[in-house]
Structure 1
Amino acid sequence: MHADPLPRTARIPGSKSITNRALLLAAAADGTSTLRAPLVSEDTLAFRKALTDLGATVRAASDESRWTVTGLGGAPRGGGPVWCADAGTAARFLPPFTAAGRGTYRFDGSAQLRARPLRPLVDALDRLGARVRADGGGLPLEITATGLDGGELDLDSSLSSQYLSGLLMAAPLLRTPLTLRPEGLVSRPYVDMTLALMRRFGAGVDAYADRVTIRPGGYRPHALDIEPDASTASYFLAAAAACGRAVSVPGLGTGSLQGDLRFVDVLAKAGARVSVTAEGTTVAGTGRLRGGFDVDMGDISDTFMTFAAIAPLADAPVTIHGIAHARLKESDRVAAVTANLRACGVRVDEGPDRITVHPGTPAPARIACRRDHRIAMSFSVLSLASGVPLVLDDPACVGKTFPGFHAELGRLFPDLLPGGPGGPGAPGGPGVLGAPGVRTSVEEGE
Structure 2
Amino acid sequence: MSAVWARVPGSKSLTNRALAIAAMADGVTELDEPLVSDDTTAFANALVALGVPVERQARRWIVTGMGGAPRLRSGGVWCEDAGTAARFLPPVAAAGGGAFDFDGTDQLRARPLRPLIDALRALGATVEPAGDGGGLPFRLVSDGLKGGELTLTSRTSSQYLSGLLMAGPLMANPLTVVAPELVSRPYIDMTIALMARFGVRVTESGPDRFTVHPGRYVGTRYSVEPDASTASYVFAAAAVTGSEVSVNGLGSASLQGDSQFVDVLSRAGAEVTVESDRVTVRGPRRLRGGFTVDMGPISDTFMTLAAIAPLADAPIRITGVGHARLKESDRIDAMAQNLASCGVPVRTGPDWIEISPMDPSPALIHCRRDHRIAMSFSVLGLRVHGLVLDDPACVSKTFPGCHAELARLFGGDR
Match of 1:367 among 362, 365, 368: 365
Shift of 1:169: 0.5
> Which one-letter code corresponds to 1:259 in the other structure?
G
Structure 1 counterpart of 2:155, from 148, 154, 158: 158
Equivalent pair of 1:130/1:144 in contact (CA under 8 Å): yes
| 1:79 and 1:102 in contact (8 A); partners too | no
Question: Which aligned pairs between 1:18-37 and structure 2 lie closer than 5 A?
Answer: 18-37=14-33
Could you tell me whether the CA contact under 8 Å between 2:360 and 2:384 is conserved in 1? no
Are 2:113 and 1:118 equivalent residues in the alignment? yes
- Work out whether 1:167 is the aligned partner of 2:164: yes
Give 1:444's aligned residue: none
Amino acid in structure 1 at the alignment position of 2:388: V
1:79 is displaced (CA, Å) by 1.4
CA distance in 2, matches of 1:350, 1:206: 38
Match of 1:210 in 2: 208
- Could you tell me which residue of structure 1 aligns to residue 146 of structure 2? 149
User: Mapping of 1:327-338 within 5 angstroms?
Assistant: 327-338=325-336
| Pairs within 5 Å for 1:91-110 | 91-110=86-105
DSSP-derived class of the 1:340 partner: helix
Equivalent residue pairs, number: 410
Give distance in 1, aligned partners of 2:394 and 2:36. Answer: 14
Shift of 1:207: 2.3
Cα offset, 1:75, TM superposition: 2.7
Aligned identity (percent) is: 63
Partner-residue secondary structure (3-state), 1:80 = strand
Is 2:169 the counterpart of 1:180? no
Is 1:307 aligned to residue 310 of structure 2? no
In structure 2, what is the Cα distance between the partners aligned to 1:341 and 1:205?
42
Q: Which residue of 2 aligns with 1:74?
A: 68
* Inter-partner Cα distance in structure 1 for 2:270 and 2:388: 28
Is 2:397 aligned against 1:403? Answer: no
Q: Secondary structure at the match of 1:169?
A: helix
Structure 2 residue aligned with 1:139, among 114, 136, 139?
Answer: 136
Encode CA deviations 1:256-311: one digit per residue, 9 max, x unaligned. 00000000010000000001101210000121100000000000000000000000
Match of 1:266 in 2: 264
Q: Which residue of 2 aligns with 1:194?
A: 191
AA in 2 matched with 1:80: G
User: Equivalent residue of 1:220, what SS?
Assistant: coil
* Structure 1 match to 2:290: 292
Whole-Å separation in 2 of the counterparts to 1:387 and 1:334: 21
TM-score by length of structure 1 reads 0.91
Q: How does 1:274-285 map to 2 (within 5 A)?
A: 274-285=272-283
Determine the structure 2 residue equivalent to 1:387: 384
Judge which range, 127-136 or 221-230, deviates more: 127-136
Q: Name stretches of at least 5 consecutive residues in structure 1 with no aligned partner.
A: 418-424, 426-434, 436-446
Match of 2:43 among 44, 47, 62: 47
- Residue 81 of structure 2 corresponds to 86
Mapping 1:403-442, distance limit 5 Å? 403-414=400-411, 417=412, 425=413, 435=414
Secondary structure at the counterpart of residue 168 of structure 2: helix
Instruction: Tell me how large the CA RMSD over aligned residues is.
Output: 0.8
- In the alignment, the residues of structure 1 paired with residue 203 and residue 321 of structure 2 have an alpha-carbon distance, to the nearest angstrom, of 29
Tell me, in whole angstroms, the C-alpha distance in 1 between the residues paired with 2:141 and 2:105: 22
Contact 1:155/1:183 (8 A) holds in 2: yes
The separation in 2 between residues aligned to 1:166 and 1:205, in whole angstroms, is 13
Within 1, Cα distance between the matches of 2:240 and 2:142? 51
Matched, 1:16 2:12: yes
SS at match of 1:100: helix
Q: Are the counterparts in 1 of residues 22 and 64 from structure 2 also a CA contact under 8 Å?
A: yes
TM-score by length of 2: 0.98
Deviation digits for residues 65-91 of structure 1 (CA, Å, limit 9, x no counterpart) = 001110100132411100000000000
Aligned residues of 1:172 and 1:204 also touching (Cα < 8 A): no
User: What displacement does 1:225 show?
Assistant: 0.5
Distance 1:123 1:366 in 2: 41
**Secondary structure at 1:183's aligned position in 2?**
coil
Runs of 4+ in 1 over 6 A off after TM superposition: none
Matches within 5 A, 1:223-234: 223-234=221-232
Matched position secondary structure for 2:381: helix
- Note if contact 2:381-2:387 (Cα within 8 Å) is conserved in structure 1: yes
**Contact 2:361 2:384 (8 Å CA) reproduced:** no
**Take 2:43 and 2:397, find their aligned partners in 1: how far apart are those partners?**
12
Contact 2:362–2:384 under 8 Å retained in 1: no
